[in-house]
């Protein structure tokens, strides 16, 4: 690859990052359905026509943004697995805390999970991201001592943990601190049930 080609590639990646940043910024302020490609282009400082050179649809923009954020979680989990810090509770807590601290990521995951309507290319990227995350979770699951080492159980754990966040993220009448404590208690119960088959006695934390 020539120097010119490298510069063009770097410029393209920089533009894509600007578009993704703009989309994430908008999604933290507006509902997904109220954001169009023109809105994203305007926030990114490019023309409405130019944005389609980088992303063919709005779904592609948001899936790419979600993939970028989930890579951060994957890298964190992979590091913990290598260090031997592989308790299901620890990784589950890391997942819910990341979603609680990153509202736009939570909103995007919720949209794609509930709507199920994604453009084919974006769907391929989304499925790859989800498979990678499940692979890491399955590695942890395989290290438990109760024989739960199949993909179906891994799916059950993933659905349970994300379901807790979706169910209680906006718990009416509760402060953010109360919501976080409640979600942590539920995650401890789920982790204990999946790894030991019993509910922990101390849930005061």
Domain match, 156 and 65 both: yes
Minimum mean pLDDT among 60-74, 92-106, 135-149: which range? 135-149
E strand or H helix that includes residue 191: helix 176-196
* DSSP string of 16-80, one letter each residue: HHHHHHHHHHHHTTS-GGG--HHHHHHHHTS-TTGGGGT-SSHHHHHHHHHHHHHHHHHHHHHHH
pLDDT reported for residue 170: 86
pLDDT tens string 37-81 = 999 999 999 998 999 999 988 888 888 888 888 788 778 777 777
Q: Which residue, of 38, 55, 72, is where some domain finishes?
A: 55
Query: Would you state the torsion angle of the CA atoms of residues 38, 43, 44, 45, taken in this order, to the nearest 10 degrees?
Result: 90
Overall number of domains in the chain: 2
Q: Are residues 92 and 130 in the same domain?
A: yes
What CATH number is given to the structural domain containing 128? Answer: 1.10.357
- The pLDDT value recorded for residue 175 is 93
Average pLDDT of 87-114? Answer: 81
pTM as predicted: 0.76
Name the percent of the chain lying above pLDDT 90.
Answer: 22
């Amino acid at each position: 690859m020539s120097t010119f080609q490298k510069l063009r590639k770097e410029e393209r990646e920089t533009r894509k990052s600007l578009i993704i940043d703009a989309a994430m910024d908008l999604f933290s302020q507006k509902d997904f359905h109220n954001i169009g490609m023109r809105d994203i282009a305007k926030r990114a400082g490019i023309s409405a026509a130019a944005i389609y050179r980088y992303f063919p649809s709005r779904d592609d923009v948001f899936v790419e943004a979600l993939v970028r954020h989930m890579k951060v979680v994957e890298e964190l989990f992979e590091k913990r697995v290598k260090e031997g810090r592989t308790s299901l509770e620890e990784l589950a807590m890391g997942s819910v805390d990341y979603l609680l601290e990153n509202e736009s990521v939570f909103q995007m995951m919720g949209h794609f999970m509930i709507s199920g309507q994604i453009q084919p290319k974006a769907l391929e990227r989304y499925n790859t991201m989800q498979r990678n995350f499940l692979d890491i979770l399955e590695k942890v699951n395989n290290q438990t001592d109760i024989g739960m080492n199949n993909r179906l159980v891994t799916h059950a754990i993933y659905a349970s943990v994300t379901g807790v966040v979706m169910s209680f993220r906006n718990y009416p009448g509760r402060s953010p601190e109360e919501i976080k404590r409640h979600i942590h208690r539920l995650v401890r119960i789920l982790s204990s049930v999946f790894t030991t088959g019993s509910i922990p006695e101390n849930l005061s934390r």
